[in-house]
Amino acid sequence: MNLNALKKLLVGSPLATAQSRHERLTKTSALAVFSSDALSSVAYATEEILLILVLAGTVAFQYSIPIGVAIAVLIAVVVSSYRQTIRAYPQGGGSYIVTKDNLGTLPGVISGGALLIDYVLTVAVSVAAGVAALTSAVPWLYPYRIVLGVGFVALVTLANLRGIRESGKLFTLPTYLFIFGFAFFILYGLVRWTFGWDAEALAARPANPASQDLTLFLVLRAFASGCAALTGVEAVSDGVPAFKPPEARNARVVLAWLGVILISLFMGITFLARHYGVSPVPEETIVSQLARKIFGEGLVYYALQASTMLILVLAANTAFADFPRLSFFLARDGFLPRQFGSRGDRLVFSNGILILGGTAALLLVVFGGSTHRLIPLYAVGVFLSFTLSQASMVRRWLVRRERGWRWRWWVNAVGAATTGLVVLVITVTKFTHGAWVVVLLIPLLVMMFLAIHRHYADVAGQLSLEGYTMPPPMQHTVLVLVGDLHKGVIHALQYAQTLSPSVKGVYVELDPDRTRRLEEKWIKWSMGVPLVVLSSPYRSLLQPFLEYLNHLLALGDNHMVTIVIPEFVTAHWWQHLLHNQTAFLIKGTLLFRKNVVVTDVPYHLR
């Protein structure tokens, strides 16, 4: 069919199960693969802090450095905490699994739901920020930012439906380009600032008027926005089995590196933004403004913007691996529909990928493709799952009391307490700006998970063969619904005769003259099948038939009735509208009747 050809063109030919292979990553590749999500937030985290502070006027920017330091400390705490998780879960310690393991099902699915939401937001926020990097460099694209965002999402979705198996190769170049590019950018900027080479630029500082008071609440809200920098830090601990052995050790090293790089880049940009006195504007990102001031509008500037855009798209891409994988775990445990548990013919979890892409694109449209408007929804889920995951570790050390558990317990306890506090800060300060959506959505998702789980468990119980005794053989009546006698009906009668020796034709009489004509033909063509004629005083085809059917079904719970309906298959779709109305009506009416099977026997017209 044409649809199949299109799918093949877009998504590629099916891959055999045997083609599934596992790539083992060196530390260098692993850093590239697992850090893009976390590092890419450097592109917007500083800006989001300033966007809140600016509400209290330019003067409030002095708080950006302390807030930056607080976030850097937070990164260090979370990274240390996750290094413990890696040690305990060398087979991969995703928050859902770790939490379910140690705290039980309910905290587990809460963590799962929170993460699913955050993966969707990762895609939306990263793509929005990537588009912002692009439109900062190419301003005439700014009006098309929503279309561009949806286009990026579509592209990444498609790439993932094909299956991106060359992940190491794909990630290495852009990630290291970004890391070294930004390192150079920051160092060069610091040198220029130290020697006062940009004195002129530094002199011309924008003065934004204050629209709000500079309160502790506002500073905390700025901190909460900056916490977006931490999203994606958990990726390494999820992916331990992908490392070359010794897996856990390598993963711990890579995570430490990730922490160091993330802190350096984030603090560097925050420091430069403070001292170059840039102020957020809708049309151009802070990073772009800084790069323009430091490098001028040359090749280096454009290369920096391009690498920013690239790593942001890669970050979005990361969620396309995480979301379907988590959905798979949830489906395997019966919290999501089974469709999420099966791989498509390209070996990827197509349903999860499609749902993630669709929801993220929808978010981009609803929020006008603006990073800033999406941020209040972001990070709530991630920090909730951080907290649950660290709390799980706390409990685990307590229960197992392995060698050296005391100080590990302390690391995780500090991690859990800190991230728990952050959840509170984020939720409270961003609640009215959009966080309420997530606060509402997480319990709704959890309720859905539990309802699905209960349903599957209930069905499994109902279907179980444990202690089941085979019911006695069925009684069976076959009725052929007859409106007229023609080749299609004879075809259906012949078919019905192969089903049962006791077939009956049923005809609803609307006009006695037609009945007489039918009965004359019937004698000749019916192959001995008896004809039941039902009268219909109200011209309803359905009512008399239903009464007859009820009468048959009353014979016993063991009695099945098969209703054979001759149906036309026409050459063109519109011709279908000219036939089969009765068949359609009867199928609709009897869809949920117990002990009734409706069988269409297609008769093919030329």
Sites of contact with its own copies (CB under 8 A): 14-18, 337-339, 342-345, 347, 452, 455-456, 458-459, 462-465, 468, 470-471, 473-474, 476, 485-488, 490, 494-495, 497-500, 521, 525, 527, 537-540, 560, 562, 568-570, 575, 577-579, 581, 592-594, 596-602, 604-606
* Beta carbons within 8 Å of 356's beta carbon, 6+ residues apart: 119, 120, 123, 157, 319, 320, 323, 324
Pick the closer one to its own copies by CB: 36 or 526: 526
Helices 247-275 and 286-295: crossing angle in degrees, nearest 10, is 70
Pick the closer one to its own copies by CB: 77 or 330: 330
CA angle 604, 501, 569 (to 5 degrees): 10
Please give the helix or strand (H or E) that residue 53 lies within, else none.
helix 45-53
Pick the closer one to its own copies by CB: 279 or 599: 599
The DSSP code sequence of 81-130 is HHHHHHHH-TT---HHHHHHHHH-HHHHHHHHHHHHHHHHHHHHHHHHHH
Pick the closer one to its own copies by CB: 158 or 577: 577
Pick the closer one to its own copies by CB: 174 or 488: 488
Sign of the torsion angle spanned by Cα atoms 575, 576, 580, 584 = negative
Nearest to 238 by CA among 7, 35, 490, 424: 35
Report the nearest approach of its own copies to the CB of residue 238 (Å): 24
Residue position matching structure tokens 């009765």: 582
Report the nearest approach of its own copies to the CB of residue 129 (Å): 35
Report the nearest approach of its own copies to the CB of residue 465 (Å): 6
Pick the closer one to its own copies by CB: 39 or 586: 586
- Token readout for 427 is 């939720």
Report the nearest approach of its own copies to the CB of residue 59 (Å): 52
Please give the helix or strand (H or E) that residue 566 lies within, else none.
strand 559-569
Pick the closer one to its own copies by CB: 399 or 459: 459
Pick the closer one to its own copies by CB: 139 or 530: 530
Report the nearest approach of its own copies to the CB of residue 601 (Å): 6
Residue position matching structure tokens 């603006």: 370
Pick the closer one to its own copies by CB: 339 or 550: 339
How far is it, in rounded angstroms, from Cα 109 to Cα 452?
12
The DSSP code sequence of 494-548 is HHHHHH-S-EEEEEEES-HHHHHHHHHHHHHHSTT--EEEEE-TT--SHHHHHHH
Pick the closer one to its own copies by CB: 438 or 485: 485
Report the nearest approach of its own copies to the CB of residue 592 (Å): 5
CA 96 from centre of chain:
15
Report the nearest approach of its own copies to the CB of residue 134 (Å): 38
Pick the closer one to its own copies by CB: 198 or 509: 509
Asked whether 476 and 500 are in contact (CB, 8 A), the reply is: yes
Report the nearest approach of its own copies to the CB of residue 581 (Å): 6
At 135 the three-state DSSP class reads helix
Pick the closer one to its own copies by CB: 402 or 458: 458
Report the nearest approach of its own copies to the CB of residue 429 (Å): 36
How far is it, in rounded angstroms, from Cα 416 to Cα 111?
14
Helices 405-430 and 216-226: crossing angle in degrees, nearest 10, is 120
Question: In the β-sheet with 503-509, what is the strand arrangement from edge to edge?
Answer: 531-535, 503-509, 475-482, 559-569, 596-604
Report the nearest approach of its own copies to the CB of residue 533 (Å): 16
Nearest to 382 by CA among 197, 233, 204, 174: 233
- Token readout for 264 is 């350096």
Residue position matching structure tokens 């926020």: 125
Report the nearest approach of its own copies to the CB of residue 343 (Å): 6
Report the nearest approach of its own copies to the CB of residue 215 (Å): 45
